[in-house]
Structure formats: C-alpha cells, structure tokens
Amino acid sequence: MKKTLLIGLLALTALPATAQVSEFGLLLGGSKRLVSHRDEEKGFGVSDNFKFSNSVKEIYYSVILDDSSRFKIKVGQITAPGAFRADNARVDVAKATVDHADALVDYRFSEPFGSTGLFAGVGLYRQSASGQQEETNYGFSAGVNGDFPLSRRYGVIVEGTYHWVNYHYRPRYLTLTGGLRISF
C-alpha cells in the first residue's frame, strides 16, 4: 500500500513536467574554420572560405524553462579543415570531422514574424581525420537564431553559431545552418 501511494505521489508531482512544450529540430548547413593571427604568423595555415562543402549536420531537443528561455541539447557534426599535434609539430588536414554534443540555454525574443534568440553553452568536442589521431576536449558555443513558424507545430529555423574548442591549437568554427523544427 505504501509503495502504491508513493508511486502515485511521484507521478502526480511529475505531471507538470509532461505539460511543458518541447521541440525537436534538424539543421543542415556550412562552416568556416577560423585561425588566429598568431597561428598564421607561425605558418600554421590560414582560414578557409565559408563553404557548404564544409558541411554541418545537427539535431537538437529543447524544453521550455520559462516564457522566454529554453534548455537545449544539441548534437552535431562539422566537416572542415583541421590540425593535429604529431611529434611536437602541427599537421594540417584538408578535411577533419568534429563531432560535438552541447548543453545550451536559448533566450528567445518574440517578433511579429516568429521569434529570434541568443544562445550559449558548453559542450564536448571530438576531432578526427582518416589516418590521423583523434582529439577530444571541451568547448563553448554561442550564437543567434530565428524561428519562422509555418504552423503551431512546424517551423523553419535559421542559426549562426560560433564554436570555440579547447584542442591543442584551439580552432574556432563559424557555422551557418537552416532546417525544420517540430514542437510537441
């Protein structure tokens, strides 16, 4: 009897969490690796141009925290030039894959056409390239987004994100993505 009462009480206290609106989104786009002037002076490569061949694929899930903010979990993959440290020397590769998982707080502003937002958070990043070593470390991301609703449930998302990763050579990536979101 006590177990049944306890389970009922726990279910009742968890009921408001199920009433929260959540979102799922799929984003595709392009990226650009940014290189600092200090790295360029040392001959460590230059930044590449923004290209959609430097692809970005991301999915996210978000939950409303209050009227204007959300907590978002985003996982994605950035394909862009990379650099590894091998035998105390820098090795640049034309294409590296950067996988990331981020925990973000997204603050939204209501607009006549939908909403815009500012977001920032921390994440775990892993860089790998064929024939090269892997490198994993933490990073930070921040950016802006826009949500253009098609209906109450569906919308178009456009997002620009700046990724700062704490690898040995501390690359930065600028990504521009667009995609669809589903609210439920």
Paired sense of beta strands 22-34 and 154-165, if any? unpaired
Q: Tell me the pLDDT of the chain (184 aa) as tens digits.
A: 555 655 665 555 554 555 557 999 999 999 988 876 555 444 444 455 666 678 999 999 999 999 899 999 999 999 988 888 777 778 888 889 999 999 999 999 999 999 999 999 999 999 998 866 889 999 999 999 999 999 989 999 999 999 999 988 788 899 999 999 999 8
Residue 46 lies in a domain: yes
DSSP class of residue 41 equals H
Domain count, the chain: 1
Task: Write down the pTM of the prediction.
Answer: 0.81
With contact defined as beta carbons under 8 Å apart, do 160 and 143 qualify?
yes
Instruction: Give the separation between CA 127 and CA 72, rounded to whole angstroms.
Output: 22
Q: What DSSP line would sit under 45-66, residue for residue?
A: --PPPPEEEEEEEEEEEEEEEE
Q: For residue 57, give its domain range.
A: 21-183
Residue 162 CB contacts under 8 Å (≥ 6 apart), including other chains: 141, 142, 143, 172, 173, 174
Q: What is the CATH number of the domain that holds 168?
A: 2.40.160.20
Residue 44 lies in a domain: yes
